[in-house]
Structure 1
């Protein structure tokens, strides 16, 4: 696949590194040309600015920028993102681990509104970048499950393949309208892990005790 990254930070680094290892052709795009070039050189990819990465990613584009910048950047790339599978791994989490989008559209819905021609899939937002650097992310013999929210069947198929390339299992979590639930879950988990030092994984019982709803 041809994958572009909007951003060259830790999340873009972790995911792009794994996808390059899996044989995908990656273009790293960033506002800082030097940072993009360093990451691209390390993973054996190519570097460009944000527009060049969006144009390159004919199979998928990873959105991995700080939440405060995403809608402005995506709106400025509306044309090159038209028809692209846009993978949104952004978490709108602010001070005190509060959700910046509480009471309004989710980050994913705002991204979709800023680039209405893009096919947005929310994914990879529940884990720290160090998890995505594991080869593979398997815990107690169980591959990590990655929830996906999106409305486009073909786009979801593309992201499922990229999830499996990491050694993880994709988990359908509904349409884009449910992406806010993933973002709220991330805010809760980050607050528990970082703020409380808790073992947040322990909050969910095994499936056989989940009951029927």
Structure 2
């Protein structure tokens, strides 16, 4: 696949590096040429501007910038994003592990509104970047599951393929209107992991004890 990555931070490097090693054609786009060039060299991709990344990403574009600038970045690229699969891995988590979106639309919905022609999929926002660098991404013999929220069937299928290329299992999380739940889950888990040093997996019983099977 042709994948464009907007951003040059840790998530861009972790996911972009894994996809490049899986054989995908990755182009990293950043506002700072040196950072984009350096990251591209480290992961085995190419470098350019954010617009170059979007135009390169004929199969998918990963938005890997801080949430605080995400809507502005996407708004400035909205024309180029039309018709493209846009993967939103941002986390709108602020001080106190509270959502910066408050009770309003999710980060993913705001990003979709800023680029109305894009096919937005929320994914990869639950785990720290270090998790995405693991090969394989398996814990106690079980591949990591990655929930996805989106409205476009073709975009969801593309992201499912990219999830499986990481050795993970995609989970259907519903439409983009459910992205707020996924973002709230990330905020809650981060609060437990970072704030309390807790094993957050312990809060959920095995599936056979969930009461729904």
SS where residue 11 of structure 1 aligns?
helix
- Aligned residue for 2:138? 138
- Aligned residue for 1:117? 117
* Consecutive unaligned residues in structure 1, runs of 5 or more: none
- Aligned residue for 1:6? 6
Figure out how many residues of one structure are paired with residues of the other and give that number.
213
TM-score scaled by length of structure 2: 0.99
- Aligned residue for 1:34? 34
Distance 1:136 1:31 in 2: 32
The answer on 1:211 being equivalent to 2:202 is no
Alignment of 1:1-213 (within 5 A): 1-212=1-212
SS where residue 127 of structure 2 aligns?
coil
Distance 2:201 2:34 in 1: 38
Distance 1:157 1:175 in 2: 13
| Residue deviations 1:37-68 (CA, integer Å, cap 9, x gap) | 00111122110011110111000000010011
How far apart are residue 102 of structure 1 and its match?
1.8
- Equivalent residues of 2:21, 2:44 under 8 A apart: no
Distance 1:198 1:32 in 2: 37
| Residue deviations 1:116-163 (CA, integer Å, cap 9, x gap) | 000000000000000000011100000000000000000000000000
Structure 1 ranges of 4+ moved more than 4 A: none
SS where residue 79 of structure 1 aligns?
helix
What is the root-mean-square deviation of aligned Cα atoms in Å? 0.8
* Consecutive unaligned residues in structure 2, runs of 5 or more: none
| Residue deviations 1:83-132 (CA, integer Å, cap 9, x gap) | 11000000000011110112100000000000000000000000000000
